[in-house]
Amino acid sequence: DTEVTQTPKHLVMGMTNKKSLKCEQHMGHRAMYWYKQKAKKPPELMFVYSYEKLSINESVPSRFSPECPNSSLLNLHLHALQPEDSALYLCASSQGGIGNTIYFGEGSWLTVV
Amino acid sequence: EDQVTQSPEALRLQEGESSSLNCSYTVSGLRGLFWYRQDPGKGPEFLFTLYSAGEEKEKERLKATLTKKESFLHITAPKPEDSATYLCAVQPFYGQNFVFGPGTRLSVLP
Protein backbone atom coordinates (compact mmCIF):
# COMPACT_ATOMS: atom_id res chain seq x y z
CA ASP A 1 0.00 0.00 0.00
CA THR A 2 1.14 3.51 -0.84
CA GLU A 3 2.23 5.68 2.07
CA VAL A 4 1.15 8.83 0.31
CA THR A 5 -2.48 9.50 1.21
CA GLN A 6 -4.74 11.68 -0.90
CA THR A 7 -8.22 13.00 -0.16
CA PRO A 8 -10.78 13.09 -1.55
CA LYS A 9 -10.60 10.14 -3.95
CA HIS A 10 -13.31 11.66 -6.12
CA LEU A 11 -14.42 15.28 -6.49
CA VAL A 12 -17.05 16.84 -8.71
CA MET A 13 -17.08 20.61 -8.83
CA GLY A 14 -18.71 23.39 -10.79
CA MET A 15 -16.73 25.97 -12.68
CA THR A 16 -17.44 28.64 -10.05
CA ASN A 17 -16.56 26.49 -7.03
CA LYS A 18 -13.51 26.61 -4.79
CA LYS A 19 -12.22 23.28 -3.55
CA SER A 20 -8.98 21.75 -2.33
CA LEU A 21 -7.17 18.45 -2.77
CA LYS A 22 -5.12 17.23 0.18
CA CYS A 23 -2.07 15.01 0.47
CA GLU A 24 -0.12 13.64 3.42
CA GLN A 25 3.01 11.53 3.79
CA HIS A 26 4.76 10.33 6.93
CA MET A 27 7.90 8.89 5.38
CA GLY A 28 10.02 11.93 6.22
CA HIS A 29 10.35 12.83 2.57
CA ARG A 30 11.37 16.41 1.87
CA ALA A 31 10.11 16.78 -1.69
CA MET A 32 6.41 16.68 -2.54
CA TYR A 33 4.82 16.93 -5.97
CA TRP A 34 1.53 17.50 -7.75
CA TYR A 35 1.08 15.78 -11.09
CA LYS A 36 -1.87 15.89 -13.48
CA GLN A 37 -2.71 12.83 -15.58
CA LYS A 38 -5.20 12.60 -18.43
CA ALA A 39 -6.47 9.30 -19.79
CA LYS A 40 -3.82 7.23 -21.63
CA LYS A 41 -1.17 9.91 -21.01
CA PRO A 42 1.82 9.97 -18.65
CA PRO A 43 1.78 12.16 -15.53
CA GLU A 44 2.64 15.82 -16.10
CA LEU A 45 4.41 17.75 -13.36
CA MET A 46 2.53 20.75 -12.05
CA PHE A 47 4.35 21.80 -8.88
CA VAL A 48 7.12 20.56 -6.64
CA TYR A 49 8.10 21.61 -3.14
CA SER A 50 11.63 20.73 -2.14
CA TYR A 51 12.43 21.45 1.51
CA GLU A 52 9.21 23.52 1.48
CA LYS A 53 10.48 25.72 -1.36
CA LEU A 54 8.17 25.87 -4.37
CA SER A 55 9.15 25.26 -7.97
CA ILE A 56 6.50 26.07 -10.53
CA ASN A 57 5.78 24.69 -13.97
CA GLU A 58 5.08 27.99 -15.66
CA SER A 59 2.53 26.45 -18.01
CA VAL A 60 0.16 25.68 -15.12
CA PRO A 61 -2.78 28.14 -15.01
CA SER A 62 -3.20 30.34 -11.95
CA ARG A 63 -6.53 28.70 -11.16
CA PHE A 64 -4.37 25.99 -9.54
CA SER A 65 -2.64 27.11 -6.35
CA PRO A 66 -0.38 24.84 -4.27
CA GLU A 67 0.28 25.12 -0.56
CA CYS A 68 2.74 23.25 1.64
CA PRO A 69 1.82 23.88 5.32
CA ASN A 70 4.70 21.65 6.51
CA SER A 71 7.00 18.93 5.19
CA SER A 72 4.29 16.25 5.53
CA LEU A 73 1.31 18.05 4.03
CA LEU A 74 0.54 19.33 0.55
CA ASN A 75 -2.63 20.98 -0.71
CA LEU A 76 -3.83 21.97 -4.15
CA HIS A 77 -6.39 24.76 -4.14
CA LEU A 78 -8.76 24.84 -7.09
CA HIS A 79 -10.75 27.85 -8.25
CA ALA A 80 -12.70 28.66 -11.41
CA LEU A 81 -11.66 25.49 -13.16
CA GLN A 82 -12.57 24.53 -16.69
CA PRO A 83 -14.02 21.19 -17.91
CA GLU A 84 -10.66 20.42 -19.56
CA ASP A 85 -9.11 20.39 -16.07
CA SER A 86 -10.95 17.12 -15.37
CA ALA A 87 -8.22 14.55 -14.74
CA LEU A 88 -6.52 12.34 -12.16
CA TYR A 89 -4.43 14.49 -9.81
CA LEU A 90 -1.52 12.65 -8.28
CA CYS A 91 0.43 13.63 -5.21
CA ALA A 92 3.90 12.17 -4.79
CA SER A 93 6.92 12.45 -2.56
CA SER A 94 10.61 11.60 -2.61
CA GLN A 95 13.27 11.21 0.05
CA GLY A 96 15.58 14.15 0.44
CA GLY A 97 14.96 16.76 -2.24
CA ILE A 98 14.31 16.31 -5.93
CA GLY A 99 16.50 13.46 -7.02
CA ASN A 100 15.33 10.22 -5.58
CA THR A 101 12.63 7.70 -6.33
CA ILE A 102 9.20 9.29 -6.49
CA TYR A 103 6.38 7.51 -4.67
CA PHE A 104 2.84 8.27 -5.77
CA GLY A 105 -0.47 8.35 -3.96
CA GLU A 106 -3.62 6.73 -5.31
CA GLY A 107 -4.78 9.98 -6.87
CA SER A 108 -7.83 12.21 -6.72
CA TRP A 109 -10.27 12.01 -9.61
CA LEU A 110 -11.52 15.50 -10.45
CA THR A 111 -14.51 16.16 -12.66
CA VAL A 112 -15.37 19.76 -13.54
CA VAL A 113 -18.95 20.30 -14.69
CA GLU B 1 15.23 18.41 -25.39
CA ASP B 2 15.10 15.32 -23.20
CA GLN B 3 12.75 12.66 -24.61
CA VAL B 4 11.60 9.21 -23.55
CA THR B 5 9.71 6.84 -25.84
CA GLN B 6 8.19 3.45 -25.12
CA SER B 7 7.24 0.58 -27.39
CA PRO B 8 4.98 -1.04 -28.13
CA GLU B 9 2.14 1.31 -27.26
CA ALA B 10 -0.03 -1.69 -26.39
CA LEU B 11 0.76 -5.39 -26.04
CA ARG B 12 -1.56 -8.32 -25.69
CA LEU B 13 -0.12 -11.61 -24.42
CA GLN B 14 -1.49 -14.99 -23.58
CA GLU B 15 -0.89 -16.16 -20.03
CA GLY B 16 2.58 -17.68 -19.88
CA GLU B 17 3.80 -15.96 -23.07
CA SER B 18 7.01 -14.09 -22.16
CA SER B 19 7.87 -10.77 -23.80
CA SER B 20 9.74 -7.49 -23.36
CA LEU B 21 8.77 -3.84 -23.18
CA ASN B 22 11.17 -1.18 -24.43
CA CYS B 23 12.02 2.28 -23.08
CA SER B 24 14.33 4.40 -25.26
CA TYR B 25 15.66 7.78 -24.27
CA THR B 26 17.47 10.76 -25.71
CA VAL B 27 18.56 12.79 -22.72
CA SER B 28 21.29 15.20 -21.72
CA GLY B 29 22.38 12.90 -18.89
CA LEU B 30 21.27 9.78 -17.06
CA ARG B 31 21.21 9.93 -13.31
CA GLY B 32 18.55 7.21 -13.06
CA LEU B 33 15.87 5.31 -14.99
CA PHE B 34 12.70 4.34 -13.18
CA TRP B 35 9.98 1.79 -13.98
CA TYR B 36 6.44 2.08 -12.64
CA ARG B 37 3.31 -0.03 -12.94
CA GLN B 38 -0.06 1.73 -13.09
CA ASP B 39 -3.42 0.03 -12.72
CA PRO B 40 -6.48 1.78 -14.19
CA GLY B 41 -7.67 4.65 -12.01
CA LYS B 42 -4.76 4.37 -9.56
CA GLY B 43 -1.44 6.07 -9.00
CA PRO B 44 1.79 4.62 -10.42
CA GLU B 45 3.47 1.99 -8.26
CA PHE B 46 7.26 2.03 -8.13
CA LEU B 47 8.99 -1.07 -9.48
CA PHE B 48 12.72 -0.47 -10.17
CA THR B 49 15.48 2.11 -10.35
CA LEU B 50 18.48 1.53 -12.65
CA TYR B 51 21.52 3.79 -12.50
CA SER B 52 24.15 2.49 -14.91
CA ALA B 53 24.48 0.51 -18.14
CA GLY B 54 24.62 -3.21 -17.49
CA GLU B 55 22.59 -3.02 -14.32
CA GLU B 56 19.71 -5.49 -13.85
CA LYS B 57 16.95 -5.68 -11.25
CA GLU B 58 14.38 -8.44 -10.71
CA LYS B 59 11.07 -8.73 -8.91
CA GLU B 60 8.90 -11.81 -9.26
CA ARG B 61 8.18 -12.21 -13.01
CA LEU B 62 9.74 -8.87 -13.93
CA LYS B 63 13.33 -8.11 -14.84
CA ALA B 64 14.59 -4.67 -15.83
CA THR B 65 17.82 -4.09 -17.74
CA LEU B 66 19.64 -0.94 -18.83
CA THR B 67 21.96 -0.05 -21.73
CA LYS B 68 23.34 3.35 -22.70
CA LYS B 69 20.34 4.15 -24.90
CA GLU B 70 17.45 2.01 -23.67
CA SER B 71 15.94 -0.13 -20.98
CA PHE B 72 13.94 -3.32 -21.25
CA LEU B 73 11.32 -4.69 -18.91
CA HIS B 74 11.20 -8.44 -19.42
CA ILE B 75 8.07 -10.27 -18.30
CA THR B 76 8.47 -14.01 -17.84
CA ALA B 77 5.42 -16.27 -17.89
CA PRO B 78 2.99 -13.40 -17.26
CA LYS B 79 -0.29 -13.82 -15.44
CA PRO B 80 -3.55 -11.85 -15.94
CA GLU B 81 -2.77 -9.84 -12.81
CA ASP B 82 0.28 -8.40 -14.59
CA SER B 83 -2.10 -6.48 -16.86
CA ALA B 84 -1.41 -2.77 -16.35
CA THR B 85 0.27 0.22 -17.95
CA TYR B 86 4.03 0.21 -17.48
CA LEU B 87 5.68 3.62 -17.37
CA CYS B 88 9.36 4.43 -17.54
CA ALA B 89 10.87 7.73 -16.47
CA VAL B 90 14.35 9.21 -16.72
CA GLN B 91 16.04 11.69 -14.43
CA PRO B 92 18.83 13.37 -16.46
CA PHE B 93 20.67 14.90 -13.49
CA TYR B 94 20.24 14.96 -9.72
CA GLY B 95 17.78 17.67 -8.79
CA GLN B 96 16.05 17.62 -12.17
CA ASN B 97 12.50 16.51 -12.61
CA PHE B 98 11.60 13.15 -14.13
CA VAL B 99 10.84 12.84 -17.86
CA PHE B 100 8.11 10.24 -18.34
CA GLY B 101 7.53 8.04 -21.36
CA PRO B 102 3.99 7.55 -22.70
CA GLY B 103 3.67 4.04 -21.28
CA THR B 104 2.95 0.55 -22.61
CA ARG B 105 -0.51 -0.91 -21.94
CA LEU B 106 -0.11 -4.62 -21.26
CA SER B 107 -3.01 -7.06 -21.36
CA VAL B 108 -2.46 -10.67 -20.32
CA LEU B 109 -5.28 -12.97 -21.35
CA PRO B 110 -6.07 -16.16 -19.41
Residue A97 has pLDDT above 90, yes or no: no
Q: Specify the higher pLDDT residue, B2 or A98.
A: B2
The arithmetic mean of pLDDT across residues B54-77, rounded, is: 96
Chain A residues with CB inside 8 Å of B39's CB?
A: none
- The count of residues in chain A is 113
- List the single residue in A43, A105, A106 with the smallest CB-CB distance to B100: A43
pLDDT the model gives residue A41: 95
Strand partners, B107: B12
Asked if the model's pLDDT at residue A1 lies above 60, the reply is: no
B59 contacts: CB under 8 Å, gap ≥ 6: B47, B48
Can you give the pLDDT at residue A58?
84
Q: Which of A1-10, A15-24, B12-21, B80-89 has the lowest mean pLDDT?
A: A1-10
Q: What is the pLDDT of residue A100?
A: 87
pLDDT mean across residues, chain A: 93
User: At a CB cut-off of 8 Å and minimum separation 6, what does A61 contact?
Assistant: none
Confidence tier at A2 by pLDDT (50, 70, 90)? low
A96 has pLDDT over 80: no
Cβ atoms B23, B70 nearer than 8 A: yes
- Residue A19, min C-alpha distance to chain B (Å): 21
- Residue A38, pLDDT score: 96
**Which residues sit opposite A104 in a β-bridge?**
A92
With residues binned 3-state (H G I as helix, E B as strand, rest as coil), the percentages for chain B, rounded to 5, are 5, 55, 40
Average pLDDT over chain B, rounded to an integer: 95
Q: Report the residue of chain A nearest B4, measured CA to CA.
A: A42
B1-48: pLDDT as tens digits: 889 999 999 999 999 999 999 999 998 888 999 999 999 999 999 999
- Stretch B56-66: mean pLDDT, rounded? 97
pLDDT > 90 fraction of chain B, expressed in percent and rounded:
87
Residue A52 is predicted with a pLDDT of 86
Asked if A7 has any chain B CB less than 8 Å from its own CB, the reply is: no
pLDDT at A49: 94
- pLDDT tens string A67-80: 999 999 999 999 99
Q: Smallest Cα–Cα separation from A89: which of A54, A47, A59?
A: A47
Residue among A77, A78, A74, A76 at smallest CA distance from A4: A74
Cα separation, A75 vs A78, in Å, equals: 10
Strand partners, A56: A47
